[in-house]
Every structure is written in C-alpha cells, then in structure tokens.
Amino acid sequence: MDESKVQKIYRTIMLILITVLLTATITTLLVYNKITNTTDIRTIISSGDNSGLELTLSKIRTLLEDKYIGTIDDKKMIEGAIKGYVAGLEDKYAEYYTPSEMSDELDEAYGNYVGIGINMLVNKDTGKIIVTEPMKDSPAEKAGIKSGDIIAKVDGEEVTTENISDMTNKIKGEEGTKVNLEIKREEETLNIEVERKRIVVSHIESKMLEDKIGYISILDFDGGVAEEFKTKYNELKKQGITSLIIDIRDNGGGVVDEAIYILELLSKRKDTLLITVDKNGKEEITKCKVDPEITMPVVLVVNEYSASASEILAGALQDNDRAKIVGVKTYGKGVIQTLIKLSDGSGLKMTTEEYCTPNRNKINKVGITPDYVVELPEDIQELGGKDDTQLQKAIELLK
C-alpha cells in the first residue's frame, strides 16, 4: 500500500480521537463495537477500509485491557493522542493544551499566573529552554537566575526536543511548591531551587535619562502592555522628555494586537504596520487608523532574543523611518499563532499566518538587522549601565 494512503488512514484515526474528546462518546464506542480477536490490526490499516478504524481502536483497547499491567487512564490517553496528532505537524509552535494547561496559558497571556517568574524562549528544534529575562523581584531573580541561562533539567529530568513542552509546564507548577533547575551558564553548571509563587506581572520599566531622554523597556507583549506603555510614556512626558528610547531586548513577543496598538501611538495615519499572509496566500495589510500621539525622536534597542511581536514593532518603525534601530540582529520568528479555546476548556495553538515588514521584508528565520549594529562587551554585568554599549549608542543618537 502506498505511503499517502497510510498517512490518510492515520490522520483519520487521530481525527476520530479528537472527535471522541470533544463529543464525549468514547464509552459508547468501546462498549458497543464488536471486537473480532482474530483480526490483525496491520491487515485493517493495509486494506484501506475506513470502516475498520473504530474496530482498530477497539482492538488496541482490548489488547491493553488483556495484557497491560498498569492502570489505564482514558482521559490521559486521549489527551496524549491529540498531543501526538498535533506534534505530527512538525511545527515547533503548534501545540494542544489540556484544560488545565489552557487555563495557565490564558493566565500568563493576561499577566496573572503562578510560576517562578521568567520569560523564556523555547527552541523545539534543539530542545533548549533559554531564559530571556527573569522578572523583576520574582522568585527566579532572587534565586540568581540570569538572562541567557539555559534550563537543561527540571527536577532531575533532562529537557529534550520530545518533552520540552511538558518541561515548560512543569516549571510552573503549584503555588508554594519548589522546583529544582539545572542551569547551563556558559561553561558552568548550576543547580538552583526556586519556590513557585503567584506572579503579578509588570510589563514596563521606565526612567528619565540624561538630556531629557525618556527610557521605556517593554519586557513582553502580554495583555495590557500597550496601555501600560501609554501610561509610562505620559508620566515621562510630564517630566519633560524630548526624545525616547524603547528597549525590547530579551522580549520574546506575545499578543500581536498589543504591538500594533503601540505602533499606532508612534505612526502616521495610513502607515502600513503589518502584512500577513495565510495558507491560501490571502494577504491582509494592517494600516494605522489614527494620528500619532508620540511624535518625538525615537530609538529602538533590540538583541538576538527580540522575537515575534518585538520584530513586528521593529520592522514597522524601521521601514516607516519612524525610529532608528540599535543592537544586533533579532531572533527571526515571523509567523503568527492563533490560540483557539475548545468547548471542554482545552485549547489548540497553531500557526496560521506568516508576516513581513511594511516593505515586504521577510522576518521568519531571517530576523531584522539594526541600522546600527552594536555588540555588547563580553564582560558586561547587566543591561542599563555605562558599559551597555547598545544603550549608550541609542543615547548618543538622541543627543
């Protein structure tokens, strides 16, 4: 039998499992389907007879009941089957969330969740969890976790390409419990225990710099960040700033609409902000609908961990000649995921669009090259100081 027919049957099997979860009919299928013990599963698949799929599932169930020495948890098996089905897309950003995982995902997106307080980049190709930034005053920061740390093990279990999603969920856990992380930091290996707490997220840090330069650091683009950005800007404006630095280093992205709203504060009416293309090649162009509230000179600072919504912001400001970009080439995540909540509380995240800059420059796996490429010193202690060459270049451009 040819490979395409096998794949078609496999997809149909998994579709049945998904339907089972959403309609809660698994018990009916298992009780009322007749099982023929002499039927070979491989024969059913090879025959191409779709009517035998339910029989195949029932056969597997019977074998498990007859031979398996452990406990069968139907709910976990179905959830695992769906996770595997979505993983078969081989899209590192696509994922199925159980109801509890979906709740955590939504809490985090809206800035209210339990965990250790880190922003992460998850590279499913290499099996690496990279800490882009520990949140200010978070358990992670207090425990000594730093930007650029790689989480190699969680409670003694090694992070791999196969279990990376489970490991990121495991890091979160329940409030008041502790998690042990094995951290790779350059040539050093550290074991750090962190207590999980309820995290109240602040997305923005701001301050007044020399020469009436305002500074706003956007830590992520989770829900509410645009309003917080506007508030912080107005506070700085009252202090008399005449120019602005926006720092999106280590910002791994978040909600696209939040980045668009910030762009509308900075852009001219009818400026193109974003171009997206769906699977059918349908193009959608997002333009600025309002006059700008921020008209002063702006410099944007980026680094290799500025990703996704950060790159939408950087690409539009650069192409529309609204801001100069300082730093190093960005991460290169130019695809958008849609998160759909299903009727039972579970969720499906899938890649639905690719985007490019207003000048139609590709971002995915390419990144954005700054107008001024500035590397950081190898021995830099922390961002924001006199040895922060990227920030100092931004200040120089605004003097």
Positions marked catalytic? 308, 319, 333
CB neighbour burial string for 306-340, b if at least 16 within 10 angstroms, e if fewer: bbbbbbbbbbbbbbbebbbbbbbebbbbbbbbebe
**Regarding beta strands 298-302 and 243-247, do their DSSP bridges make them parallel or antiparallel, or are they unpaired?**
parallel
Q: How far apart are CA 42 and CA 6, in angstroms?
A: 11
Contact by Cβ (8 Å): 353, 276:
yes
The beta strands (E) that lie in the chain are given as 95-97, 112-115, 118-123, 128-134, 150-154, 157-158, 178-185, 188-195, 197-200, 204-208, 213-218, 243-247, 272-277, 283-287, 298-302, 324-327, 335-341, 347-356, 372-373
**How far, in Å, CA of 278 to CA of 280, rounded?**
5
Task: Report the C-alpha gap between 357 and 27 in whole angstroms.
Answer: 50
Longest dimension (CA), the chain: 84
Q: Output the six-digit token pair for 84.
A: 């595997």
Residue 311 to residue 274: CA distance in whole angstroms = 10
Q: Rounded to a whole number, what is the distance in angstroms from the first to the last CA of the chain?
A: 71
Which pairs count as long-range contacts for 362-367, CB under 8 Å and 24+ apart, including other chains? 362/334, 363/311, 363/315, 363/330, 363/332, 363/333, 363/334, 364/332, 364/333, 364/334, 364/335, 365/332, 365/334, 366/332, 366/334, 367/304, 367/311, 367/329, 367/330, 367/331, 367/332
Q: Which two tokens stand for residue 349?
A: 């995240």
